[in-house]
Amino acid sequence: MSKFLKIEEIRPTDLLEIRANLYKEDLHILNKSKKVEIDCPACNSTKYDNFLTIFDYDFVKCSNCRTIFIQKRPTENSLEDFHINSKSGEFWEEIYKKTEIVRKEKIFKPRIKMVNEILKEYGVADCHTMLEVGCGYGWFLELANESKLANNIIAVEPSPKFCKAMKKIPGIEIVQKTIEKYPLNIPADLIVNFELLSQLFNPRSFLQSCYDRLTSNGVLIFSTTNGLALDVQILKEKHDLIAPHILNLFNPDSITILLKSIGFKNIKITTPGLYDFSSIIEKMKSNELDKTTLPFFDFILKNYNSELIEDMQFLIQKHLLSSHMLVSAQK
Protein backbone atom coordinates (compact mmCIF):
# COMPACT_ATOMS: atom_id res chain seq x y z
CA MET A 1 0.00 0.00 0.00
CA SER A 2 1.22 3.52 -0.76
CA LYS A 3 2.44 5.42 2.27
CA PHE A 4 0.29 8.42 1.43
CA LEU A 5 -3.46 8.37 1.68
CA LYS A 6 -5.92 9.28 -0.99
CA ILE A 7 -8.98 10.90 0.50
CA GLU A 8 -11.37 8.41 -1.12
CA GLU A 9 -9.63 5.55 0.70
CA ILE A 10 -11.05 6.66 4.04
CA ARG A 11 -13.99 8.77 2.85
CA PRO A 12 -15.71 7.04 -0.08
CA THR A 13 -17.43 9.64 -2.24
CA ASP A 14 -20.74 7.78 -2.50
CA LEU A 15 -21.05 7.42 1.29
CA LEU A 16 -19.97 11.00 1.93
CA GLU A 17 -22.74 12.27 -0.33
CA ILE A 18 -25.32 10.34 1.70
CA ARG A 19 -23.79 11.61 4.92
CA ALA A 20 -23.83 15.21 3.66
CA ASN A 21 -27.54 15.02 2.89
CA LEU A 22 -28.26 13.60 6.35
CA TYR A 23 -26.17 16.37 7.91
CA LYS A 24 -28.26 19.04 6.21
CA GLU A 25 -31.38 17.43 7.67
CA ASP A 26 -29.79 17.39 11.13
CA LEU A 27 -28.87 21.06 10.87
CA HIS A 28 -32.53 22.07 10.65
CA ILE A 29 -32.89 20.94 14.26
CA LEU A 30 -29.59 22.36 15.53
CA ASN A 31 -30.10 25.73 13.86
CA LYS A 32 -33.18 26.31 16.00
CA SER A 33 -31.13 26.13 19.19
CA LYS A 34 -29.83 29.13 21.12
CA LYS A 35 -26.44 30.54 20.08
CA VAL A 36 -23.73 31.92 22.36
CA GLU A 37 -20.74 34.13 21.53
CA ILE A 38 -17.23 33.27 22.69
CA ASP A 39 -13.78 34.87 22.72
CA CYS A 40 -10.79 33.20 21.08
CA PRO A 41 -10.49 29.69 22.59
CA ALA A 42 -6.68 29.89 22.55
CA CYS A 43 -5.74 33.39 23.77
CA ASN A 44 -9.09 34.91 24.85
CA SER A 45 -8.73 37.82 22.43
CA THR A 46 -11.92 39.64 21.44
CA LYS A 47 -10.47 40.86 18.13
CA TYR A 48 -11.03 38.81 14.99
CA ASP A 49 -11.84 39.02 11.27
CA ASN A 50 -14.24 36.99 9.16
CA PHE A 51 -12.58 33.99 7.51
CA LEU A 52 -15.25 31.81 5.89
CA THR A 53 -18.86 30.68 6.20
CA ILE A 54 -20.04 27.06 6.12
CA PHE A 55 -23.71 26.11 6.50
CA ASP A 56 -24.48 29.65 7.71
CA TYR A 57 -21.91 29.35 10.50
CA ASP A 58 -19.24 32.07 10.40
CA PHE A 59 -15.65 31.11 11.12
CA VAL A 60 -13.51 34.04 12.26
CA LYS A 61 -9.72 34.31 12.55
CA CYS A 62 -8.25 35.70 15.77
CA SER A 63 -6.22 38.85 15.07
CA ASN A 64 -3.74 37.87 17.79
CA CYS A 65 -2.99 34.15 17.46
CA ARG A 66 -4.76 33.31 14.15
CA THR A 67 -6.96 30.59 15.64
CA ILE A 68 -9.97 30.05 13.38
CA PHE A 69 -13.21 29.37 15.24
CA ILE A 70 -16.98 29.66 15.15
CA GLN A 71 -17.48 32.72 17.31
CA LYS A 72 -21.28 32.45 17.54
CA ARG A 73 -22.03 28.80 18.18
CA PRO A 74 -24.76 26.51 19.56
CA THR A 75 -24.75 25.93 23.30
CA GLU A 76 -22.72 23.08 24.77
CA ASN A 77 -25.88 21.09 25.61
CA SER A 78 -27.27 21.55 22.10
CA LEU A 79 -24.04 20.29 20.57
CA GLU A 80 -23.94 17.29 22.90
CA ASP A 81 -27.50 16.33 21.91
CA PHE A 82 -26.58 16.83 18.26
CA HIS A 83 -23.57 14.49 18.44
CA ILE A 84 -25.57 11.79 20.23
CA ASN A 85 -28.78 11.89 18.19
CA SER A 86 -27.85 13.08 14.69
CA LYS A 87 -28.59 10.81 11.73
CA SER A 88 -25.37 11.89 10.02
CA GLY A 89 -23.33 10.93 13.07
CA GLU A 90 -24.96 7.52 13.12
CA PHE A 91 -24.16 7.07 9.42
CA TRP A 92 -20.41 7.36 10.09
CA GLU A 93 -20.69 3.73 11.24
CA GLU A 94 -21.23 2.72 7.60
CA ILE A 95 -18.16 4.70 6.52
CA TYR A 96 -16.02 3.20 9.28
CA LYS A 97 -17.12 -0.36 8.40
CA LYS A 98 -16.17 0.10 4.76
CA THR A 99 -12.80 1.70 5.56
CA GLU A 100 -11.76 -0.16 8.73
CA ILE A 101 -8.90 -2.10 7.13
CA VAL A 102 -7.27 0.87 5.40
CA ARG A 103 -7.77 3.10 8.47
CA LYS A 104 -6.01 0.57 10.71
CA GLU A 105 -3.15 0.13 8.23
CA LYS A 106 -2.58 3.74 7.21
CA ILE A 107 -3.76 5.69 10.25
CA PHE A 108 -3.81 3.65 13.44
CA LYS A 109 -0.70 1.47 13.05
CA PRO A 110 1.46 4.51 12.18
CA ARG A 111 -0.19 6.31 15.09
CA ILE A 112 1.01 3.61 17.51
CA LYS A 113 4.52 3.98 16.10
CA MET A 114 4.39 7.77 16.47
CA VAL A 115 3.23 7.57 20.09
CA ASN A 116 6.08 5.18 20.92
CA GLU A 117 8.58 7.53 19.28
CA ILE A 118 7.21 10.52 21.19
CA LEU A 119 7.43 8.67 24.51
CA LYS A 120 11.09 7.87 23.77
CA GLU A 121 11.74 11.57 23.07
CA TYR A 122 10.36 12.38 26.53
CA GLY A 123 12.45 9.62 28.10
CA VAL A 124 9.43 7.51 29.10
CA ALA A 125 10.74 3.95 29.20
CA ASP A 126 7.85 2.36 31.09
CA CYS A 127 4.27 3.61 30.71
CA HIS A 128 2.21 2.28 33.59
CA THR A 129 -1.24 3.75 32.84
CA MET A 130 -2.56 5.16 29.57
CA LEU A 131 -5.93 6.81 28.96
CA GLU A 132 -7.46 7.34 25.56
CA VAL A 133 -10.19 9.97 25.68
CA GLY A 134 -12.85 9.74 22.97
CA CYS A 135 -12.05 6.28 21.66
CA GLY A 136 -14.63 5.63 18.95
CA TYR A 137 -14.55 1.92 18.13
CA GLY A 138 -11.32 1.44 20.07
CA TRP A 139 -9.01 0.61 17.17
CA PHE A 140 -6.10 2.53 18.70
CA LEU A 141 -6.65 0.81 22.05
CA GLU A 142 -6.77 -2.59 20.37
CA LEU A 143 -3.40 -2.00 18.69
CA ALA A 144 -1.98 -0.39 21.86
CA ASN A 145 -2.87 -3.51 23.80
CA GLU A 146 -1.34 -5.80 21.17
CA SER A 147 1.89 -3.79 21.17
CA LYS A 148 1.96 -3.49 24.99
CA LEU A 149 2.12 0.30 24.82
CA ALA A 150 1.21 0.52 28.53
CA ASN A 151 0.65 -1.84 31.45
CA ASN A 152 -2.87 -0.53 32.08
CA ILE A 153 -4.95 0.71 29.15
CA ILE A 154 -8.13 2.63 29.93
CA ALA A 155 -10.81 3.89 27.55
CA VAL A 156 -12.55 7.08 28.69
CA GLU A 157 -15.59 7.37 26.45
CA PRO A 158 -19.01 8.92 27.21
CA SER A 159 -20.89 7.23 24.35
CA PRO A 160 -22.83 4.07 25.32
CA LYS A 161 -22.63 2.83 21.71
CA PHE A 162 -18.85 3.06 21.55
CA CYS A 163 -18.42 1.59 25.04
CA LYS A 164 -20.50 -1.40 23.97
CA ALA A 165 -18.42 -1.82 20.80
CA MET A 166 -15.16 -1.79 22.80
CA LYS A 167 -16.21 -4.60 25.12
CA LYS A 168 -14.95 -7.11 22.55
CA ILE A 169 -11.39 -5.74 22.89
CA PRO A 170 -9.40 -7.81 25.43
CA GLY A 171 -7.11 -6.30 28.03
CA ILE A 172 -8.60 -2.82 28.36
CA GLU A 173 -10.72 -1.10 31.01
CA ILE A 174 -13.71 0.94 29.83
CA VAL A 175 -14.94 3.98 31.77
CA GLN A 176 -18.15 5.53 30.42
CA LYS A 177 -17.43 9.14 31.38
CA THR A 178 -16.03 12.36 30.01
CA ILE A 179 -12.48 13.23 31.07
CA GLU A 180 -13.92 16.02 33.23
CA LYS A 181 -15.74 13.37 35.31
CA TYR A 182 -12.91 10.82 35.40
CA PRO A 183 -11.51 10.34 38.94
CA LEU A 184 -8.60 12.58 39.90
CA ASN A 185 -7.08 9.92 42.16
CA ILE A 186 -6.15 7.59 39.28
CA PRO A 187 -3.46 9.62 37.45
CA ALA A 188 -2.10 8.50 34.09
CA ASP A 189 1.43 8.55 32.70
CA LEU A 190 0.00 9.06 29.21
CA ILE A 191 -3.25 10.56 27.91
CA VAL A 192 -4.05 10.46 24.20
CA ASN A 193 -6.93 11.72 22.10
CA PHE A 194 -7.26 12.06 18.36
CA GLU A 195 -9.28 14.47 16.21
CA LEU A 196 -11.39 15.58 19.16
CA LEU A 197 -10.26 19.08 20.22
CA SER A 198 -11.63 20.78 17.10
CA GLN A 199 -15.13 19.55 17.98
CA LEU A 200 -15.25 20.67 21.61
CA PHE A 201 -17.25 23.62 22.84
CA ASN A 202 -14.67 24.35 25.53
CA PRO A 203 -11.23 23.00 24.56
CA ARG A 204 -9.52 24.82 27.44
CA SER A 205 -11.62 22.95 30.00
CA PHE A 206 -10.83 19.66 28.27
CA LEU A 207 -7.08 20.25 28.22
CA GLN A 208 -7.12 21.43 31.84
CA SER A 209 -8.90 18.19 32.81
CA CYS A 210 -6.23 16.18 30.98
CA TYR A 211 -3.49 18.13 32.78
CA ASP A 212 -5.10 17.52 36.17
CA ARG A 213 -5.20 13.76 35.54
CA LEU A 214 -1.57 13.30 34.52
CA THR A 215 1.23 12.23 36.79
CA SER A 216 4.13 14.64 37.29
CA ASN A 217 6.00 14.70 33.95
CA GLY A 218 3.15 12.71 32.41
CA VAL A 219 2.64 13.13 28.67
CA LEU A 220 -0.37 14.32 26.70
CA ILE A 221 -0.51 13.45 22.99
CA PHE A 222 -3.31 14.58 20.72
CA SER A 223 -4.09 15.40 17.12
CA THR A 224 -6.32 18.14 15.81
CA THR A 225 -6.92 20.20 12.68
CA ASN A 226 -4.36 22.88 11.82
CA GLY A 227 -6.15 26.07 10.81
CA LEU A 228 -3.05 27.40 9.01
CA ALA A 229 -2.72 24.28 6.87
CA LEU A 230 -2.23 24.69 3.14
CA ASP A 231 -5.44 22.89 2.19
CA VAL A 232 -7.55 24.88 4.68
CA GLN A 233 -6.17 28.17 3.39
CA ILE A 234 -6.51 27.22 -0.29
CA LEU A 235 -9.83 25.38 -0.25
CA LYS A 236 -11.69 27.42 2.40
CA GLU A 237 -15.44 26.82 1.74
CA LYS A 238 -14.52 23.93 -0.57
CA HIS A 239 -12.74 22.15 2.27
CA ASP A 240 -14.36 19.11 3.85
CA LEU A 241 -14.74 21.01 7.14
CA ILE A 242 -18.30 20.62 8.40
CA ALA A 243 -19.77 23.28 10.67
CA PRO A 244 -20.66 23.22 13.48
CA HIS A 245 -19.23 19.70 13.79
CA ILE A 246 -15.88 21.49 13.62
CA LEU A 247 -15.72 24.49 15.96
CA ASN A 248 -12.04 25.27 16.54
CA LEU A 249 -9.04 25.30 14.21
CA PHE A 250 -5.90 25.89 16.23
CA ASN A 251 -2.43 26.24 14.69
CA PRO A 252 1.08 25.47 15.99
CA ASP A 253 1.46 28.90 17.61
CA SER A 254 -2.00 29.18 19.12
CA ILE A 255 -2.15 25.67 20.56
CA THR A 256 1.23 26.40 22.20
CA ILE A 257 -0.23 29.55 23.78
CA LEU A 258 -3.18 27.57 25.14
CA LEU A 259 -1.10 24.68 26.50
CA LYS A 260 1.40 26.98 28.20
CA SER A 261 -1.41 28.96 29.87
CA ILE A 262 -2.61 25.70 31.48
CA GLY A 263 0.87 24.76 32.69
CA PHE A 264 2.15 22.30 30.10
CA LYS A 265 5.86 22.27 29.23
CA ASN A 266 8.13 20.70 26.59
CA ILE A 267 5.56 21.19 23.84
CA LYS A 268 6.34 19.51 20.51
CA ILE A 269 4.34 19.87 17.30
CA THR A 270 4.48 18.12 13.92
CA THR A 271 2.06 17.96 11.01
CA PRO A 272 2.36 14.40 9.63
CA GLY A 273 -0.76 14.52 7.44
CA LEU A 274 -0.96 12.28 4.40
CA TYR A 275 -3.44 13.72 1.92
CA ASP A 276 -3.40 17.54 2.03
CA PHE A 277 -1.87 18.03 -1.39
CA SER A 278 -3.84 15.25 -3.03
CA SER A 279 -7.10 16.71 -1.66
CA ILE A 280 -6.37 20.00 -3.42
CA ILE A 281 -5.52 18.18 -6.65
CA GLU A 282 -8.73 16.15 -6.43
CA LYS A 283 -10.76 19.35 -6.09
CA MET A 284 -8.95 20.68 -9.17
CA LYS A 285 -9.79 17.51 -11.11
CA SER A 286 -13.48 17.80 -10.26
CA ASN A 287 -13.53 21.48 -11.30
CA GLU A 288 -14.58 22.61 -7.82
CA LEU A 289 -11.78 25.18 -7.89
CA ASP A 290 -11.11 27.94 -10.41
CA LYS A 291 -7.91 26.82 -12.13
CA THR A 292 -7.20 30.32 -13.42
CA THR A 293 -6.74 31.56 -9.85
CA LEU A 294 -4.48 28.63 -8.87
CA PRO A 295 -1.95 28.34 -11.72
CA PHE A 296 0.60 26.43 -9.62
CA PHE A 297 -1.84 23.66 -8.77
CA ASP A 298 -3.12 23.63 -12.35
CA PHE A 299 0.48 23.09 -13.50
CA ILE A 300 0.90 20.21 -11.04
CA LEU A 301 -2.35 18.68 -12.26
CA LYS A 302 -1.22 18.82 -15.89
CA ASN A 303 2.13 17.25 -14.97
CA TYR A 304 0.67 14.80 -12.49
CA ASN A 305 2.60 11.82 -11.20
CA SER A 306 2.38 10.06 -7.84
CA GLU A 307 6.03 10.64 -6.91
CA LEU A 308 5.63 14.40 -7.37
CA ILE A 309 2.52 14.40 -5.16
CA GLU A 310 4.37 12.48 -2.44
CA ASP A 311 7.33 14.87 -2.60
CA MET A 312 4.99 17.85 -2.25
CA GLN A 313 3.32 16.19 0.74
CA PHE A 314 6.72 15.73 2.39
CA LEU A 315 7.33 19.49 2.08
CA ILE A 316 3.93 20.24 3.60
CA GLN A 317 4.71 17.99 6.55
CA LYS A 318 8.17 19.47 7.05
CA HIS A 319 6.97 23.08 7.22
CA LEU A 320 3.99 22.43 9.57
CA LEU A 321 1.47 23.07 6.78
CA SER A 322 -0.56 19.87 6.97
CA SER A 323 -4.07 20.03 8.35
CA HIS A 324 -3.30 17.00 10.52
CA MET A 325 -1.48 18.44 13.54
CA LEU A 326 0.11 16.16 16.14
CA VAL A 327 0.84 17.76 19.51
CA SER A 328 2.60 16.46 22.60
CA ALA A 329 3.28 18.13 25.92
CA GLN A 330 4.40 17.28 29.43
CA LYS A 331 2.96 18.17 32.83
Region label for 320, one of left (φ > 0), alpha (ψ between -120 and 50) or beta (otherwise): left
Question: Buried (b) or exposed (e) across 38-65, using 16+ Cβ within 10 A?
Answer: bebbbbeeeebeebbebeebbbbbbebb
Mean pLDDT of 122-143: 95
Domain count, the chain: 1
**Has residue 312 got a pLDDT over 70?**
yes
Q: What Å distances lie between residue 292 and 229, 282, 298, 300, CA to CA? A: 22, 16, 8, 13
**Has residue 10 got a pLDDT over 80?**
no
What pLDDT, on the 0 to 100 scale, is given for residue 6? 65
pLDDT tens-place string over residues 142-166: 999 999 999 999 999 998 989 999 9
Kindly report the number of other CB atoms within 10 A of residue 134's CB atom: 22
Q: Is residue 200 part of a domain?
A: yes
Q: What Å distances lie between residue 314 and 92, 278, 320, CA to CA? A: 29, 12, 10
Helix axes 295-302, 276-285, angle to 10 degrees: 90
Q: Is residue 129 part of a domain?
A: yes
Q: Is residue 117 part of a domain?
A: yes
Q: Is residue 1 part of a domain?
A: no
Identify the residue with better confidence: 91 or 166.
Answer: 166
Identify the residue with better confidence: 16 or 241.
Answer: 241
What pLDDT, on the 0 to 100 scale, is given for residue 271? 97
What pLDDT, on the 0 to 100 scale, is given for residue 3? 55
- Whole-number Å distance between alpha carbons of 116 and 161: 29
Q: Are residues 122 and 330 in contact, defined by beta-carbon separation less than 8 angstroms? A: yes
Q: 3-class DSSP state for residue 289?
A: coil
Mean pLDDT of 286-312: 92
- Whole-number Å distance between alpha carbons of 313 and 4: 8
Q: Is residue 133 part of a domain?
A: yes
Report H helices in 124-159: 139-146
**Has residue 194 got a pLDDT over 90?**
yes
Which residue segment(s) compose the domain that 120 sits in? 7-330
**Has residue 133 got a pLDDT over 60?**
yes
What pLDDT, on the 0 to 100 scale, is given for residue 98? 82
Q: Is residue 2 part of a domain?
A: no
What pLDDT, on the 0 to 100 scale, is given for residue 254? 98
Question: Per-residue confidence at 2, pLDDT binned at 50, 70, 90?
Answer: very low
Mean pLDDT of 84-113: 84
How would you class 166 by CB atoms within 10 Å of its CB: exposed for 0-12, middle for 13-18, buried for 19 or more? buried
pLDDT tens-place string over residues 216-226: 999 999 999 99
Q: Phi and psi at residue 269, in whole multiples of 5°?
A: -135, 130
- Residue 186 sits in a domain whose CATH number is 3.40.50.150
% the chain with pLDDT above 70: 97
% the chain with pLDDT above 90: 73
Identify the residue with better confidence: 159 or 271.
Answer: 271
